[in-house]
Structure formats: structure tokens, C-alpha cells
Chains A and B, each alone.
Chain A
Amino acid sequence: MKTTDDLFAGLDLAVFEEQPDGAWHAVGLLPDWLALPAGPLDLLDCFPMLEVFLPDCDFAKRSQSDTWTEPDPRNPGEELYLQAVACGTDERKFLALRTLPGELLTWQQLAHDVELEKEKVERLSRELEQKRREAERATEAKSTFLAAMSHEIRTPLNAIIGMADVLSGTPLNTEQHKCVEVFQRNGVALLNLINDILDLSKVEAGHMELESTDFDVREVVAAAMEVVEVRVKAKALWLNQILVPGVPFYLTGDPNRLRQIIINLLGNSIKFTDRGGLEIRVECDPGNPSARAGDQINGWLRFAISDSGIGIPEDKLGRIFESFSQADASTTRKYGGTGLGLSISKQLVELMEGHIWVESDVGKGSTFFFTAHFGVQQDQTDRKPVSTERTSVEDLEAGISGLKILLVDDSDDNRSLILAYLKNIHSHIEIAENGLIATQMFRKNRYDVILMDVEMPVMDGYEATSEIRKIEAASGAKPTPVFALTAHAFADMAVKGYAAGFTELLTKPIRKVTLLEAVAGHSSSGEAVTHAAPAQSMEESFTVMVEDGMEDVVPGYLEKRRAEVPLYQTALAANDFETIKNLAHKMKGTGSGYGFPRLTELGSILEQAAIGDDAAQIGEALKQLAGYTARVKLVFP
């Protein structure tokens, strides 16, 4: 017996044998990890797991139970992992209990910890994403609201500023003249404020897109200087410009936004300068690595606007480019302005890949620097001397006399304003109250210029203009310059407007001189054609704005239509008009919905042609479909 005890002790097992009365008795010594109550033993009561295990186990085959956990009698707080093993012969049944190694737990614990950690990270990133989307929606809502508001404000402002302009052109006594000047000055100030707020909200919402056009940097600087000239003179300051030799003049980028930055910085400097003057300096960015490598013509420019003003205290330098943070709140009261200009400038500079900063000496003055990156045009030979001369209103009026003009606008106020602007040019002006009336008049008459409001009842300006383009295309007539008068100042308006066939967009409030310049620019017989949109601008409008939320589906839709072209061609070759009709019908029904009115139009043409078995017409329309789907450009929001 002693040898058996030793044997079991060495195996570290607790072994029990079933007695004839059903009770289990220990065989040999029990290991010290097993704490059993003293006295007669009810093993099943001690280990309820056995109640599940024993009824189903096969002693002849040596079966194992599932694992279970027990407290470790040797180490309070620790646990043991136990397993029962049943074995025996026909006559005798043995049950062994054994402990399983602790590593079992270690890896399981690790796996669960990792899983839980992973879930936590996933949850946090979901929450972050959610927050990000909410913030985006809020910004979106804000900018939509501002856009709508600005429209509401600009429209009446249009009437006020415009009428003040008109009034200032009539005989007035000194006092009246002063009053009108106050109207004009404050109207323009209010307009600037609205524009600033709108710009800022657009940049914040990520809606600001820079143009990319060729321009002459000298003209941009000159134009900016001209804008601030009156204020410089009024404060008896001087204003210099230095163009460091070697700066490329002919660049590609967004001249309007560049001018806006310079005007903002000049305006800011003027505001804080009472003595001395200002200087604007343009040079190749000396901080740019490739400039240091000797490559000067790389499109990286640095602008510096210095003044001899009050300067900015060191501790305010950091916050000066933040929105609504003029160095001192009292500054706003004392020096005026919204303080938004610097913040907008910073955002615009960053869109131009540059950065903006200021160096200042309190009492001596400040220098605002910004860098920006432009394309450099191939040809840098000096094309024309910079001219800041502007044609006077009288010259403009004289230049465009005798025109036949169609004015389309539903608002009485707007019409009288435009009529007042055009009073001095001896022109013949006809009026249409909405787009539909305009197209009806256009069918019967030809005009030298059309002034078209955008938002009108019955038929809006877009539709009317594309209708007019169609009428012209059908008769082979030369395109008439159509100027859109819009109170919306968003870039997508421009895309939509040019797609509809507008020659130029004029944003309300429209100044008299702006209107005259625009008309003058397009009405002299030779130029009209070169500046105007191509004749089939509706038919051949190759830019489509993808609607917000449609980015995922529109490209696929277009791709499918493109891929369908060969199907049409095959069907046409086989005189299978039924297939063409079906394909075309679907395209007709869906095109506009995806933002392609042109596809709907072509679908309709193809469908009609297929119904009439008109192979020639189908062939012609297919050419257009192939051309359109191949060339149309999607613009994403």
C-alpha cells in the first residue's frame, strides 16, 4: 500500500474509488491542494461539476470533464483549475482529480484583455467620428445660414448703395452731398463686413476654392494700392512699392484672393499708422529651400507690408491672426474694422501653401510677411507696362451708347436701379419680368446685351439663358452677351452659371462702374465673340457640379453611360431600335437626377429617334453622347 501512496503522491492526483454503496473513497494520500471537510465524504456535494460529468462519462474509455475553478486552500485569493478524469474496468471505477497549469489562464486573460482594449479603441474612434461629423454638420449649417443671410442682406444693400451712387450723380447742395457720401461709405463698409464674414465662414467650412488663372503680379499689387489710395492720402501717409528684381511677373494662381490679402494687410497697417507711411515689398521667398539652392524662378514669393505705426505688443503677436481677436477689444472701437481681415488673410495664405507672420517694434511699426506659392508662366517677357489708369464713367458711357439691351428682372427696385445706371447711355432698353417672357422676346428680337437676374419666378435666369443659347444655336446666330445679376457670391454659382451659358456674373450689389465696364468689355463687336461663352455652351457644358452627398454615385453613373455608347452603336448597326429606345428611356429618366440634364436631353432625343426609326438622328445623337460622356468634368463639393 505504501508504494501506491508514494506513486500517487508523485503524480499529484487525488484519486477516489466508488464503493458498492455509491460513495467515493479516497485512494492513497490526497494532495495538499485539495481541502476536503473532515468526516464522511460526499464528493458530488463538494464538486457539483461531477453531477454534470459522472452521469454521462464512460469509465471504460477514460473520459475527462470540463475544467472548473476552485479557491486554492493554500493561497487565499488564488484559484486552482481542476479537471476530473474517470477510468476503470467493469468491476472497479476510479475518479482522479488533477490541477491544470496556470498558463491556461494567462493566455486566456491576455486574449480577453486585448479584445476588450480593441473594442474600447473602436468605440472611442466611433465616438470621435461621430463628433467630427456633428461638428461638420454644424459648420455646414452655419455657412448655409450665412450664405442665405448674406443674400438677404445684399439684396436691399444693392438698392441702397446703387441709389446712393445714382443720387451722387445728380445736382446736390453741399449738405446733401455729405449725406450721400455717408450713405455710400457706410453702405460699402457694411458690404465689406458681410463679405468678410462670408469669406471666413466659407474657408472654415472648407468651401473656399482658389482659382487658377494667369495674372501679372504687378497689376495685382497696383490694384491693391489703388484701393487703399484714398485712405493713405486722407491720413497724409506715403505708400511705396518695391519689386525686387528677379521676381517673375507672370504667374498662375488666384489674383483676386492675392489682392484681397494685400488689401487686408495694407488696410490694417493704415489703420494703425498716423505718421510716416507704408511700403509693400515683393521678392522671391528667401526662406524657400530651392530658392537658397539658387533656383529663383520657382513661384515661391514673399510679400512684406511694413508700416511706421504704433506696433503690436509682443504678447499680442500670437493671437493677432485669430478671428475676432484684434489686439485689444477697445481697438475695434477706436480704429474700426472687423478685425476679420487678418484671420481671412491667414486662411487664404494657407490655401496658397504659404504662411503669414508679423514682426513688430512697439512705437516704431510693424511688418507683416506672407509667403505664397504660384505657378510661373513660361513666357516672362514683359508684355505691357503696368497701367493703373481707369476709364472714367463718362468714357465708358460714351463707348457703349446706342445699344439695344434686354433687362430681365422681376424686382421693380432692381429694374429701376439698373435703368438709372444706364440713364446716360443712349440705349434702347426693353424689359422682361421673368425668364419665360425674356425667351419669348428673344425669339422675336435680337439684342446687343442681356442683363439677367438669376432668381425669378416662372423661369429662372439659368433656364432662360440656356434656352436663349439653344435658340441661338438653332439659328446659327452669334451668342449675345448675357450678364447674370446675382446676389449669391458662391463659387458654385459661377460653375452653374457658366454652364448655363452666362457670359459673366455680376454680384449684387452692383456698382454702376462695374456694370458699365462689364457691358463695355463685351459689347464692342469684335470683342464680344472672343469673351463670350461658346455658342453651344448649354449643349457643350462640360462641367457638372456633383451635388453634396452624391459623390459616391455620380462617377459610377457617368461611367456606366460612357460604357453604354458601344451598346447603342451595336444596336444601331443591327437596326435594333427597341434596345436603343430602352437604353435611352432610362437615361432620360435618370440623367437630371444625377446632375446631368444634358444626358436627359440626349436620352430624350435618342428615344424619339428610336421610336421614329431615325438612324441618322440616332447616329448624330450618339456622337454627341460619346463626346459628352468622354469630356464632361465633374466638380466635387
Chain B
Amino acid sequence: MLKKKICLLGSYGVGKTSLVARFVHSMFDDKYHTTVGVKIDKKVLTLEGEELTLMLWDMAGEEDGAPVKLNQVKDASGYLLVIDGTRAKTLEVARSIQQRVEAEIGARPFLALINKADLRETWEIPDSTWTELTDSGWTLLETSAKSGQHVEEAFFALSKRILQAPAEEDEND
């Protein structure tokens, strides 16, 4: 069976754990439990008639003094870059993570998720920034772990990209 590792990267508190909980368990918790280290979950999905096991590495959010551990991302097939739409700062963190991944362990498929779409009125990220990011080659998706909006779509879209991407070196079975 095909197995792919996906990492969820981004600043702390952006909703990485919540997105996984929504996707895997169809649950949402308003209370914030920060992730220690990494929490690994598994989800089997059928994509274009084929079964695919996703290993979801929900990593501790990046913060000052604790950058994302790239050694854990190294063998991932792709990643979701999560941004909190209500905190402009988390977009900068995402940009910086993306650049480090590219520079230090090489490019791989990724999708940027602007999460907390249910709070869109309070978003701090202007539409011009969207255009700018899209122009620079990013694929963006508005998601909400709370309402479930675009959560499945996000994981499926990334999986498709991974399967379509020229397999550099398939470490997984």
C-alpha cells in the first residue's frame, strides 16, 4: 500500500492540530492545547481508485528560539504550511519556514492554508498579499478547522500533488 508522509508546519496556535483533528476525527476543540514535539496520526484515503496512507506529522509550532525541526521534515513527501488569517505575523513565519525548507532540504510539494476562515472579518491579511503570494507560485487555500471548510480539500489536493510530482526518490513503500 502506498504510504506518504506529510508535515504540518507553521507558527504556534495557527490550527495545525485542529486541522488534523478535523480531518482524521471530524472533531474540533475551541480550547488550545499546544503540541509538544510532534504528534503523528494516520489516515487512509482513496485517491483516484487507489488507497493511500497518509502519515500526518503535526509538528510543534515554530516560535522564537524553537525553529521547525527540519530533520523531521527531510523524508516527508510534502507539507502543509499553515497560516492564521487573524495574525499577520504567522504569514511571515510561514514564508521563512518555506524558504528554509527549500534552501536546506530541498523543494517539495506544499500548500499554504490560511486558516480560521470562520473569522474572516477579523483577518489581518489583505487581498493584495494573497495575489502577491499566488504570483510567487504559492497555492493558497482558505480553511477553517472549526467549520471544516476546505479541510478535506486541502489534504486531498496536497496528496494529488505529491502523487503527480516526479518522485525524486521514493523512500516510502
Asked if A430 is an interface residue, CB under 8 A from chain B, the answer is: no
Among A109-117, A151-159, A173-181, which stretch is in contact with chain B?
A109-117
Asked if B34 is an interface residue, CB under 8 A from chain A, the answer is: yes
From 39 to 84 in chain A, residues with beta carbon under 8 angstroms from any chain B beta carbon are 48-49, 51-52, 56, 66-70, 79, 81
List residues of chain B with CB within 8 A of the CB of A123: 86-87, 122, 124
Minimum CB–CB distance for B171 against chain A, Å: 9
List residues of chain B with CB within 8 A of the CB of A113: 32
List residues of chain B with CB within 8 A of the CB of A81: 36-37
Most A CB contacts (10 A, CB to CB) among B32, B38, B63, B89 go to B38
Kindly state the interface size class of chain A when it binds its partner. Answer: 20 to 34
User: A112 contacts B38, CB within 8 Å?
Assistant: no
If the complex has contacts A48-B40, A49-B40, are A69 and B35 also in contact, measured as CB distance less than 8 A?
yes
Asked if A293 is an interface residue, CB under 8 A from chain B, the answer is: no
B residues contacting the other copy or chain, number (CB 8 A): 26
Minimum CB–CB distance for A417 against chain B, Å: 56
Minimum CB–CB distance for A119 against chain B, Å: 6
User: A112 contacts B13, CB within 8 Å?
Assistant: yes
Q: How far is the CA of A81 from the CA of B124 in the complex (A)?
A: 34
Binary A-proximity of B84-105 (CB < 8 A = 1, otherwise 0): 0011010000000000000000
Asked if B155 is an interface residue, CB under 8 A from chain A, the answer is: no
| Nearest CB in chain A to that of B90: its residue | A119
User: A116 contacts B36, CB within 8 Å?
Assistant: no
User: A67 contacts B37, CB within 8 Å?
Assistant: yes
| Nearest CB in chain B to that of A55: its residue | B75
User: A68 contacts B32, CB within 8 Å?
Assistant: no
User: A52 contacts B40, CB within 8 Å?
Assistant: no
List residues of chain B with CB within 8 A of the CB of A48: 5, 40, 55, 57
Asked if B79 is an interface residue, CB under 8 A from chain A, the answer is: no
User: B72 contacts A66, CB within 8 Å?
Assistant: yes
User: A105 contacts B37, CB within 8 Å?
Assistant: no
User: A112 contacts B37, CB within 8 Å?
Assistant: no
Asked if B43 is an interface residue, CB under 8 A from chain A, the answer is: no
Minimum CB–CB distance for A612 against chain B, Å: 56
Minimum CB–CB distance for A293 against chain B, Å: 55
Q: How far is the CA of A533 from the CA of B74 in the complex (A)?
A: 82
User: A119 contacts B36, CB within 8 Å?
Assistant: no
Asked if A108 is an interface residue, CB under 8 A from chain B, the answer is: yes
Q: Which residues of B contact A (CB under 8 A)?
A: 5, 12-13, 32-40, 55, 57, 61, 63, 69, 71-72, 74-75, 86-87, 89, 122, 124
Q: Please name 21 pairs of A and B residues whose Cβ atoms are closer than 8 Å in the assembled complex, sorted by A.
A: A49-B38, A56-B71, A66-B38, A66-B69, A66-B72, A68-B39, A68-B40, A69-B37, A69-B38, A81-B36, A81-B37, A105-B36, A108-B34, A111-B63, A112-B12, A112-B32, A112-B63, A116-B32, A119-B87, A119-B89, A123-B122
